[in-house]
Structure 1
Amino acid sequence: MPNSDDKCILFFVKDPSDGNVKTRLAAQIGTDEATELYKCFLSDLLGMLKEIAIRFEIVFYPPQSDVRIKEILGDSFSYIPQQGSDLGQRMKNAFLAAFNKGYKKVVIIGSDSPDLPVKFVKDAFVGLESHDAVIGPAVDGGYYLIGFNFKNFIPQAFDNIQWSTAGVFTQTVNILKKYTSEIHLLPQWYDIDTLDDLNLLNQRNTGYGDKS
């Protein structure tokens, strides 16, 4: 893979301190347990990111939660607040900020896929060597990764999306196709939003809750 200095991974996270994370899962297993699991997700994804020789930044929400986030994840990373009124605007703004810093290839990953394979993230950047955009579909109809080349960034990909629905991936790809035919599609992977998802995670990674 070419020099990684022009590449950046934006790791989107939420402050779990108020218990307002993994709400669907929390309704099934309890808020405290869901919050602790989310912290495990963050820890495991940080471990994955450290394996990749690509710069990453932790992009957190809400914007005023930096102190709490650093207490959970440590203060040795680069932290940037999410800015915008909805998820689409926050993602768009994060891409624009990264491109303004001089990065040429940027991807966003979320914190809902704790066992996301390192290979998928590496393959995203390989794809951006010859494509304008890259996207990784999630089983639930969303996506776990999206990325762009700065020369052909498509901000419209984040406009008028029905977030948190099973149509997010399809809506996004349909928009991308209006602006480019150079879309690199990654393999499908899993978000963890429900108890069934968590059981599947445990099947893929025996004793997941004891990993972190």
Structure 2
Amino acid sequence: MLVAKPVVPGRVKPRLIGPLTALEAAEVHRLMLQCVLERLADSVADTGHGLVLALDGTCGAAARTLDLPAAWRVIDQGPGDLGERMAGIWSCLGGGPAAFFGADCPDVPRPALRSAVAAMARPGASIGPTEDGGYWTLAASGPVPALLSGIDWGTPSVYHQTREAARRGGIAITDLDHWADVDTHEDLQALRRRLMDQDEPVLVRLRAGLDRLHRESRP
């Protein structure tokens, strides 16, 4: 399950605006979102798991900015903070196994993606920490509402608060690979450097798109 904002200039990647225009920042978001869509589709192929893109906003118009692989179903995130939206999505989809992803870590290693998919079959929950204190995935065999409430979303405390909520609730939680996400211009340049060594076709396309944007944005 991919939870993301639609590609709307000014609504996405605000910390990139300055070095980039709002339009350019939105294009970064679109490129990364497209990359994650394709990589997740590859990662769950032949597993029997469904693919859901939950967008914050008008689904139809937002989805038209993307080249959606056929397997993806698009829904609206619904109201509330991020945890309330995740819980609502989980409930609406039947409350079975799920792995939540965002679009800010497009180059997570493929073995880590497979580990997140496999984690849906294990008791407890699995979480992939990010360098800024959040996480790139939360996977579990069923709803874990205790891990989605009382969290200061969008802050460096998210990962530690989630682990503490698991401890209080008696929920076993396993760490997956740590990875870097992309929020700032420095993060974006670090991503471009990491992509230089990649030969996975989806990541090569992401690198080409970001390189093109870099050339076009230079004065």
Instruction: Give the TM-score range, shorter chain.
Output: 0.7 to 0.9
Matched residues, percent identical? 27
List alignment gaps of at least 5 residues for structure 2.
197-203, 211-219
User: Displacement, 1:105?
Assistant: 1.6
Aligned counterparts of 1:96 and 1:144: Cα–Cα separation in 2: 21
Q: Is the 8 A contact 1:58 1:78 kept in 2?
A: yes
Q: Deviations over 1:77-128 (max 9, x none)?
A: 311100122111101111222234xxx3201001111112232121023234
What does 1:171-210 correspond to in 2, within 5 Å? 171-206=161-196, 208-210=206-208
Q: 1:84 aligns with which of 75, 79, 82?
A: 79
Q: Is the 8 A contact 2:102 2:136 kept in 1?
A: yes
Letter in 2 for 1:196: E
TM-score by length of 2: 0.82
Name the Cα RMSD after superposition: 1.9
Q: Deviations over 1:3-34 (max 9, x none)?
A: xxxxxxx1111112243101111233221111
> Is the counterpart of residue 69 in structure 1 residue 62 in structure 2?
yes
User: Displacement, 1:133?
Assistant: 0.5
What does 1:1-212 correspond to in 2, within 5 Å? 10-52=1-43, 53=45, 54-62=49-57, 65-74=58-67, 76=70, 77-100=72-95, 104-150=96-142, 153-206=143-196, 208-211=206-209
TM-score by length of 1: 0.85
Compared CA separation, residues 122 and 209, structure 1 to 2 (3 A): closer
Aligned counterparts of 2:134 and 2:83: Cα–Cα separation in 1: 13
Q: Is the 8 A contact 1:138 1:189 kept in 2?
A: yes
Aligned counterparts of 2:136 and 2:125: Cα–Cα separation in 1: 14
Q: Which residue of 1 aligns with 2:217?
A: none
Q: Is the 8 A contact 2:127 2:175 kept in 1?
A: yes
Q: Is the 8 A contact 2:99 2:120 kept in 1?
A: no
Q: Is the 8 A contact 1:154 1:179 kept in 2?
A: no
